Structure 1
Amino acid sequence: MADFLFVPYSSHGHINPLLPVLRELTTSGDRASVVVAPNFADAVAATGAHVLRLPTSSHVIVPERFDPVDEVRRLTKTFADRKAIYELLRVELRAGSPDLVVYDPMVPKVFQMASARGVPTVLFSTTYAQNEHVIASTVQRHLGAAVGDLLRKPWARRLHPWAVETARDHRLVLINTLPELQPAAHSFGPRFRFVGPLTTARAERGDLPWSEIERRRVLLVSPGTVFTRGPAFFRTIVEAFADADQLVVIATGPTAPQALGPLPPNVIARRSIPQTALLEHADVFLTHAGMNSTMEALAAGVPMILVPRILDQQVNARRVAELGAGIRVDAKQLQPELLRLIAHKLTTDPAVRASVDALRARVTAQNGPVVAAGALREAADASCRFDHAPR
């Protein structure tokens, strides 16, 4: 039996992939303690893990339009959240030494704190990994091959904090994706484990007309829980499919559904939706291309309209489009007629269906939580051969 200490970043996109791994560990007799904000404590406790509760709730929301005041507030809250994590971790490490500390790249100081106590670490990445090759290929798209070649030098790791994390002396780096979605996958060594999707079916189905959902074609719309979209974005989608024969289910997030105005009978808008349950009945998924949503869609075999906002989402969207499982479109170019054309192509093109089915087969063949838990046990077993005494 191994003793794990998990230090995630308390946000939906970072906690949700961790839950099935925790459940897999605890049901097999391992001990898992998790430093987590109160608003995620119940979900963590339900896995059988021991909750180390932070003093305040935490979840990041980034508005669609940049506001310097909001940005200062967000950064201040993020700094305070990290400080609370580090303070609680310091207490736990003084009380005893776990076999392994598993942490998120969003809380980088964990590495130094664990290392100072002689405790080995595992990095748990909820999106693709970064190194100098990934940075270079990304920059090369915008600034040309010469700059890309320059950034392939090892010092380029310092340009991206996640690249710094993946370069450190971890026992293991777990990555919540398939190698097909990892940029420059060939440049990552054996300690990088692409464990596949870390998703789990959830029992809740929400206040939705399920009998109608189960008998009709469904377009699912969910732009994520962090980087929000405003009313105009959703109104464009409503206009595009107001007269269509499919049911449109929209997750508006922080945007109030009332802000969309009167909705046609075939459109349902809620702040939140049971996404994995709905994907089982969806024909098309309009998504921000976050890694969790992307993997959930591939697991369900649903083609995607990809409308990313930030860099990692843009990289995911580009790769999914290259693999033929979706079509990428810029939000500024989002027009009703274009949306209708894309949705029609995704549901009628045999090549799209073949690509989606092939990726679904890859996803379902790999039991991500089992693979991740097994890799963690191997790393913990190796760590037991080392002295954990403080340095």
Structure 2
Amino acid sequence: MSRVVMAGMPAWGHVNPSLPIMRELTRRGVEVTYYTGEEFRAPVERAGCEFRAYPPGTISVAGIAEATQSGSTLRVVTRVLRATESLLPFLRDELAGDPPAAIAFDSNAIWGRMAAASLGVPMISLMTTFLVGGKDLSCLTAREWACFLGPTIRDLPRTVAAKQRVVRRFGKRIYPPSPTLPMRGDVTIFPIPRWLQGDDPRIDASCHYVGPTFPEGGDSAPDAELAAFLDEPGPLVLVSLGTLHAGSGAFFHACFEALGDLPARVLIATGGVDPAGLGRPPAGTLVRASVPQREVLRHASAFVTHGGMNSALEGLARGVPLVVVPQQAEQLIIGRKVAGRGAGTVLRHAMSRRPVPAGELRTAVERALTDPSLRVAAKEAGASLGEGGGAVAAAEAIQNRLGA
């Protein structure tokens, strides 16, 4: 029996797309050992994998969230490089006596790719996004570039120092080629539709765009209060900025102002913001820290989202028009791709640290609720998501590499 090791990132948006692929591999008789944070033990084991925890203090959900929310793309790279100093020796010690047939790794888990290079086994990259090129970033305005580059430039010395430490300690031979993140492998699996990827010279036969790999079954069942709210008549608007990008109190108050008197129910998931601190919501508005998003989207008529890859694809899979409020460049690109297909609207104010005007938010949501062309386009985009073959196609690509 072949054995594959998966080096994951401890973040839900990274773990979730990988689990259906790992489950499909185990169904085909491949033994999978999955390394990630302890909080992911249950879903990893439900996918049929052997779970192994990263040592405490190396990398965590909270650490990744803090780095992501900083607004600096290099803050995440620095955090990952520092974790690599501990996790690469840990993985090599774990695997030295029983090397796997291949190492799969999240495209941000540098330690996984370096462990594969060190052991001389095939490298399988699991992307959670697309390859971003200069043409993609040309959509940024001067003010957005300033907001993007400021925090990044400030973090540059720390990132360079962290990279130098890793290279000095482990050798340049096994360090990923530039740009460091996201990393490709001998096989690179993109759980996104091909239409989301722009033209890029790095795309070759090793890249497989399989479409989203949604977990089997639904989310956890909603509690009684939420279930009753979802069953009420009339359209439903879901507002969520995801698990890594914490919305601000000002944004959620703008949602109260913009959406509170709409002829619709409004469900707001605040993520890292305490709902109790927002005060009393308008009538017809329910505020929760988190919700079972895929289950809620079954009932939704419009989705106000940050445009993270998983959220955007989950909304389109349900045929729900999107109002994208991007917090970073990748999400702006996703939003523009969705809008280009006629399935959503982009409000890009947060890209330049400006508040989203309540009037513009209301107009965008009203259009999502009333313009039938958006729902038709969202359903068409959703219908295209299965064309790449999903987890089955991903597992076949990995097995073909193992066979080779």
User: Residue in 1 aligned with 2:129?
Assistant: 127
Alpha-carbon offset, residue 202 of structure 1: 2.8
Relative to structure 1, is the Cα distance of residues 139 and 379 closer, same or farther in structure 2, using a 3 angstrom cutoff? same
Aligned pair 1:216/2:234, yes or no? yes
1:61 to 60, 65, 69: 65
Question: Matches of 1:67 and 1:117 in 2, distance apart?
Answer: 35
For 2:179, the equivalent position in structure 1 comes to: 160
Contact 2:124 2:187 in 1 (8 A): yes
The letter for the 1-side match of 2:222 is G
Uncovered stretches (5+) of structure 1, i.e. residues with no partner: 145-156, 383-391
2:195 to 160, 169, 180: 180
Whether 2:331 is the aligned partner of 1:321: answer no
Measure, in 1, the Cα distance between the counterparts of 2:309 and 2:361: 22
Offset of 1:140 from its aligned partner? 3.7
Query: What residue number does 1:368 align with?
Result: 390
* CA distance, structure 1, for counterparts of residue 234 and residue 201 of structure 2: 42
Report the aligned-residue RMSD: 2.7
Q: Take 2:345 and 2:388, find their aligned partners in 1: how far apart are those partners?
A: 25
The CA deviation at 1:323 is 1.4
Q: Which residue of 2 aligns with 1:19?
A: 19
Q: Normalising by the residue count of structure 1, what TM-score does the alignment of the two structures yield? A: 0.84
Whole-Å separation in 1 of the counterparts to 2:385 and 2:298: 15
CA distance 1:137–1:250, shift in 2 (3 Å): same
Which of 188, 191, 196 is matched with 2:211 structurally?
A: 196
Q: 2:108 corresponds to which residue?
A: 106
Q: How does 1:70-81 map to 2 (within 5 A)?
A: 78-79=80-81, 81=83
Question: Which position in structure 2 is the counterpart of 1:260?
Answer: 278
Counterpart residue type for residue 381 of structure 1: G
Residues 101 and 122, structure 1, Cα contact 8 Å, conserved in 2: yes
For the pair 1:354 / 2:376, whether they are aligned, the reply is yes
Q: How many residues align?
A: 359
Q: Summarize the Cα distance change of 1:65–1:116 in structure 2 as closer, same or farther, 3 Å threshold.
A: closer
Structure 1 residues 254 and 31: alpha-carbon distance in aligned structure 2, compared to 1, 3 A threshold:
same
Q: Which residue of 1 aligns with 2:146?
A: none
- Give, in whole Å, the separation in 1 of the partners of 2:68 and 2:130: 24
Shift of 1:193: 0.4
Deviations 1:72-93 (A, max 9, x none): 8x88865554444323311233
Structure 1 stretch 85-94 or stretch 9-18: which is displaced more? Answer: 85-94
Would you say the 8 A contact 1:320–1:326 is kept in 2?
Answer: yes
Q: CA deviation at 1:288?
A: 0.7
**Partner Cα separation in structure 1 for residue 397 and residue 276 of structure 2:** 46
Please say if residues 104 and 123 of structure 1, whose CA atoms lie closer than 8 Å, have aligned partners that are also in contact: yes
* Per-residue deviation, residues 89-113 of structure 1 (Å, max 9, x unmatched): 1123302221111112212243333
1:162 counterpart SS class: coil
Alpha-carbon offset, residue 55 of structure 1: 2.1
Q: Tell me how far apart the structure 1 counterparts of residues 178 and 256 of structure 2 sit (CA, whole Å).
A: 41
**Paired residue for 1:154?**
none
The amino acid of 1:202's aligned partner reads G
- Do 1:104 and 1:125's aligned partners in 2 also have CA atoms closer than 8 Å? yes
Q: Is the 8 A contact 1:63 1:227 kept in 2?
A: no
Identity of aligned residues (%): 28
8 A contact 1:280–1:300 mirrored in 2: yes
Q: Measure, in 1, the Cα distance between the counterparts of 2:22 and 2:377.
A: 32
Is 1:278 the equivalent of 2:325?
no
Q: Is the 8 A contact 1:35 1:88 kept in 2?
A: no
Deviations 1:19-57 (A, max 9, x none): 111222223322100111111122111111011111227
Q: Which amino acid aligns with 2:32?
A: A
Q: Quickly say closer, same or farther: Cα 1:128–1:259, change in 2 above 3 A.
A: same
Tell me by how many angstroms 1:296 deviates. Answer: 0.8
Counterpart Cα distance in 1 of 2:55 and 2:94: 15
For the pair 1:301 / 2:322, whether they are aligned, the reply is: no
Distance in 2, matches of 1:143 and 1:246, equals 34
Q: Secondary structure at the match of 1:268?
A: strand
CA contact (8 A) 2:102 2:123 kept: yes
Identify unmatched segments of 5+ residues in structure 2: 143-175
SS at match of 2:21: helix
Report the counterpart of residue 43 of structure 2 in structure 1. Answer: 43
CA contact (8 A) 1:217 1:246 kept: yes
Counterpart residue number, 2:361: 339
Distance 1:139 1:263, change over 3 A: closer
Residue identity in the other structure for 2:196: L
Whether the 8 Å contact between 1:179 and 1:185 is mirrored in structure 2 is: no
| In 1: Cα distance, 2:50 partner to 2:69 partner | 39
TM-score, with normalisation over the residues of structure 2? Answer: 0.81
Look up the SS of the partner of 1:51 in the other structure: strand
* 3-state SS in 2 of match to 1:285: strand
